[in-house]
Amino acid sequence: MSIFSRTFHPDEANQAFTTGRLLETGTYSYNPQDHHGPTLYYAAATLQKAAGHNSTATLDPTLLRCTPLLFAVLALVFGTLALRKITGRIGHGLLFALLLGTSPLFVFFATDFIQEMLLAAFSMMMLWAGVGYWHSAQPQTTQKIKPGTWAILFGIAAGLAFATKETAILTFAAAAIALLISSLIFKVSRPIPAPQPSTPNSKLQTPNSKLSHFILTLAGFTLTSFLLYSSFASNWQGVYNAFIAAPLSYIHRAAGSAVSQGAAAHVHPWWQYFKWLFDGNEGLFVVIVALPMGLLALLAKDSRPFVPPSYRTTFIFASIYSAALVALYSMIPYKTPWCALQILPGLVLVVTLGALLFIRILHNTYENKLQPHHHGKRIWGKIWCYMVFLAIFGSVLTCNITEVIRLNRDPDSKDIPYNYASASPQVQDLASLIIDKLASSQSRGFSYGNTDSPSKIEGVAAGRGSMTGDGIIPPRPFGALPLSQGESSTCHPKLFDITEKSDSLTVGQFDSADTSQSPATNTKLQTLNSFVAVALPPEDTWPLPFYLRSINDKVGYWTQFGELEALAGLGRKPAVVVVPAEEGHLVQPLFPHLKNTKRFEMRPRVRVRAFW
pLDDT in tens, 99-144: 899 989 999 999 999 999 999 999 999 999 999 998 887 776 667 8
What pLDDT score was predicted for residue 33?
73
What pLDDT score was predicted for residue 266?
80
* Nearest residue to 341 via CA among 122, 127, 176, 33: 122
d(CA 484, CA 582): 9
Instruction: Give the residues across from 532 on adjacent strands.
Output: 555, 576
- Collect the ranges in the chain with pLDDT lower than 50: 191-196, 198-202, 256-258, 445-528
**DSSP β-ladder status, 471-473 and 466-468:** antiparallel
What pLDDT score was predicted for residue 111?
92
d(CA 390, CA 386): 6
d(CA 76, CA 387): 26
pLDDT in tens, 384-415: 777 877 777 787 788 888 888 888 888 877 77
d(CA 529, CA 572): 7
Q: What is the pTM of this model?
A: 0.81
Q: Is 300 helix (H, G, I), strand (E, B) or coil?
A: coil
d(CA 536, CA 534): 6
d(CA 68, CA 118): 6
Which amino acid does the sequence have at 423? A
- The answer to whether residues 264 and 270 touch, using CB atoms and an 8 Å cutoff, is no
What pLDDT score was predicted for residue 603?
86
- The answer to whether residues 283 and 351 touch, using CB atoms and an 8 Å cutoff, is no
What pLDDT score was predicted for residue 160?
97
* Nearest residue to 277 via CA among 322, 332, 231, 226: 322
- The answer to whether residues 87 and 356 touch, using CB atoms and an 8 Å cutoff, is yes
* Nearest residue to 558 via CA among 585, 584, 581, 540: 540
d(CA 339, CA 569): 47
What pLDDT score was predicted for residue 304?
60
**Sequential DSSP letters for 132-199:** HHHHHTSTT---SS-HHHHHHHHHHHHHHHHHH-TTHHHHHHHHHHHHHHHHHHHHHHSPPPPP----
Task: Label residue 52 left, alpha or beta by phi (over 0 means left) and psi (-120 to 50 means alpha).
Answer: left
Q: How many angstroms separate the most distant Cα atoms in the chain?
A: 109
**End-to-end CA gap in the chain:** 30
Task: Label residue 138 left, alpha or beta by phi (over 0 means left) and psi (-120 to 50 means alpha).
Answer: beta
Instruction: Give the residues across from 334 on adjacent strands.
Output: 267
- The answer to whether residues 69 and 110 touch, using CB atoms and an 8 Å cutoff, is yes
What pLDDT score was predicted for residue 477?
30
d(CA 80, CA 93): 4
Provide φ and ψ at 541, rounded to 5°. Answer: -80, -40
**Percent of the chain as helix, strand, coil, to the nearest 5:** 60, 5, 35
Q: Indicate the burial class of 171 (C-beta count within 10 angstroms; 0-12, 13-18, 19 or more).
A: buried
240: Cα separation from own chain's centroid: 24
- The answer to whether residues 42 and 52 touch, using CB atoms and an 8 Å cutoff, is no
What pLDDT score was predicted for residue 475?
28
d(CA 197, CA 63): 58
Tell me which DSSP letter residue 533 carries.
E
List C-alpha distances in Å: 238 to 38, 89, 162, 342. Answer: 10, 43, 13, 25
Q: How many residues does the chain have?
A: 612
List C-alpha distances in Å: 355 to 21, 237, 258, 358. Answer: 48, 48, 43, 5
pLDDT in tens, 345-388: 998 898 888 778 777 777 666 666 655 555 666 676 677 777 87
d(CA 455, CA 440): 19
C-alpha torsion 484→489→490→495, nearest 10:
-170
CB contact burial 509-539 (16+ within 10 A = b; e otherwise) = eeeeeeeebeeeeeeeeeebbbbbbbbbbbb
- The answer to whether residues 517 and 592 touch, using CB atoms and an 8 Å cutoff, is yes
d(CA 568, CA 468): 10
- The answer to whether residues 522 and 529 touch, using CB atoms and an 8 Å cutoff, is no
* Nearest residue to 44 via CA among 155, 164, 159: 164
CB contact burial 395-411 (16+ within 10 A = b; e otherwise) = ebeebbeebbeebbeeb
